[in-house]
Structure 1
Amino acid sequence: MIGSRAPGIVRPTGIRTTMLRGVLFAILGLFVLYYLLPLLVMIATSLKSLAEIRSGSLISLPRAVSFEAWPKAWDSACVGVRCAGLKPYLWNSVLMVGPAVLLSTMLGAVNGYTLAKWRFPGSETLFGLILFGAFIPFQVVLLPMARTLGVLNLAGTIPGLVLVHVIYGIPFTTLFFRNFFVTVSDGIMNAAKIDGAGFFRIFFQVVLPLAPSTIVVTVIWQFTQIWNDYLFGVAFTAGDSNPVTVALNNLVATSTGVKEYNVDMAAAIIAALPTLVVYIIAGNYFLRGLSAGAVKG
């Protein structure tokens, strides 16, 4: 038949495409290896004894795997004058992150819903002012926030740090939800209004169930930003109320005693595990939310 080709014959263009794809995957694999190399070094170092670290190269694999650094980093390493490991400070971060993520996400959802579907005179200006808060550097708000926490009697406490993260997170969460709710059909809203539904009933029963991907994107964003924050933690908490990032810095930067690099690396991995777990579990939903326009301008 004219225009047909014999079976089993591969066109040269197909061979070139396969070769280019293989080269691309190899280059991407090198980038992945380069990106993961610090993590691999951290894991390898945490599994070495202190004597082996001092005698071997930094990036070598452990000759004899040792887990002694991990329990010490968890419950007996000295953070300042308190030798209780990272365990109490990790719990502080959990107590901080949970309410902060929940409150900032819910407030952002309500704000985004209001600014997208219940517009009023000046709503665009208000949205611009809220969005402006996302571009204010952390350092600018330190003194005003410290003064506010002092007036509220929340200085140096975990609830005070929760309040700081909620306030600073509202511009981001409002942006995410507002950009998604703008894409929701007004016909759904009008039908609900005809049926007698009010502001909050439409929000909880009609609009919010349409936004699971946006919720996941917002939660992951807020969780990562709040958990990894160091500046607000060191500025607005003290002593036993420090989050895990501040405790990790105090453990690693200590200038007394023997420097235990394996304990430092184990502690760093423990502090980073929650964010890694969140991305592993919800990473697909995060990418889905991005592709659905959760953070599209």
Structure 2
Amino acid sequence: MTQTAPAGIVRRKGLRHRLMRILLFAVLGVFCLYYLLPLFIMMATSLKSLDEIRTGTLVSLPRQITFDAWLKAWGSACVGVRCDGLKPYIWNSVLMVVPAVAISTALGAVNGYALTKWRFPGANTIFALMLFGAFIPFQVVLLPMARTLGVLGLAGSVSGLILVHTVYGLAFTTLFFRNFFMGVSDGIVQAAKIDGAGFFGIFSQIVLPMALPAIVVTVIWQFTQIWNDFLFGVAFTVGDSNPVTVALNNVVNTSTGVKEYNVDMAAAIITALPTLLVYVLAGKYFVRGLAAGAVKG
């Protein structure tokens, strides 16, 4: 014979559960406000005039919204001796990011496939050496990279920066795909071999279509890392070939004229906008890719 808990105990448990949920949401809300406050300050400052910035407070809303700072940051802010705003440097970053992400993702997929489904003597050693490259600090490779780009005639160019990011990102992309392909059944590959399919036939027609979660994770990871990079951009490009992160630094750190904080904030948001949009639009696919095993193993 079963006994039911007294109604008072049930009510107390329900009340305790609701209080815990309220406390949890309150803590999460505080963390959200903490992380969103800098973005709010940047956005509010970028929509104010300089006079309002001088007379107002840091967290106050703009009394009169103006987009003059955004227009100047985009099209007429001075970056060194060139006063064309961030627009040409945004294009430099696009020209750098798209091929670097595509090439590093494609090579990482082939590497991960070869290291898992076409195993050969020394495969684990090769993978360990490639993985070691993911832990080498950026500063360590500056001089060897600079020497290599000089020999290849790519120094100070966007093409050289594409090569740098492709090579440096190869360790991460190989890791992502290798760990994902570890979960793909070997029986499928063996059956395709028996049917006469070759290395690239199995890869392109069977394995790669299954790897969409790994592709999404890899593309988002690489896009974010390459777009936000500053060190390689400032070290391996000059002048008009600078990516937008270097141009932003030059806009913010200019020492001539009046310090325009609204233009600086607008320029910072413009620079960060592509990565923000990627995570807003594709964030759920990134999480699904992680859950599907793209970085397990």
TM-score bucket of the superposed structures, by smaller chain: over 0.9
Q: 1:214: which partner in 2?
A: 214
In structure 2, what is the Cα distance between the partners aligned to 1:152 and 1:2?
Answer: 81
**For 1:257-282, what per-residue CA distance to the aligned partner results, in whole angstroms no more than 9, with x for missing partners?**
11100000000000000001111111
Residue 10 of structure 1 and its aligned partner are, at CA, apart by: 5.2
Residues 115-156 of structure 1 show CA distances to partners (whole Å, capped at 9, x for unaligned) of: 011111111000000000001111111111111101110000
Aligned counterparts, 1:21-170, within 5 A: 21-170=21-170
Q: What letter matches 2:254 in structure 1?
A: T
Aligned to 1:276: 276
Q: Which residue of 2 aligns with 1:288?
A: 288
TM-score (normalised: structure 1): 0.97
Larger deviation: 167-176 or 61-70? 61-70
1:84, 1:286 → 2: CA distance?
Answer: 35
Distance, in Å, in 2 between the alignment partners of 1:261 and 1:292 is 44
TM, length-normalised to structure 2: 0.97
Q: Distance in 2 between matches of 1:144 and 1:96?
A: 20
Separation of aligned partners in 2, 1:17 and 1:209 = 45
RMSD of Structure 2 on Structure 1 (CA): 1.6
| Residues 133-282 of structure 1 mapped to structure 2, 5 A cutoff | 133-282=133-282
Q: In 1, Cα distance between the equivalents of 2:199 and 2:21?
A: 52
1:106 counterpart letter in structure 2 = A
- After superposition, give the CA deviation of every residue in 1:211-249 in whole Å (9 maximum; x if it has no partner): 111110000000000000000000000000000000000
- List runs of 5+ in structure 2 lacking aligned partners: none
| Counterparts in 2 of 1:60 and 1:128: CA distance versus 1, 3 Å | same
**Which stretch has the larger CA shift, 130-139 or 13-22?**
13-22
- TM-aligned CA deviation for residue 12 of structure 1: 1.9
Structure 1 runs of 4+ with >4 Å offset: 1-7
Aligned residues, how many?
A: 297
Q: Distance in 2 between matches of 1:187 and 1:13?
A: 51
Distance 1:196 1:3 in 2: 67
The unaligned stretches of length 5 or more in structure 1 are none
Amino acid at match of 1:115: L
Q: Return the alpha-carbon distance in structure 2 between the equivalents of residues 62 and 120 of structure 1.
A: 64
Percentage identity across paired residues of the two chains = 75
3-state DSSP class of the match of 1:255? coil
Give the AA of the match of 2:275: T
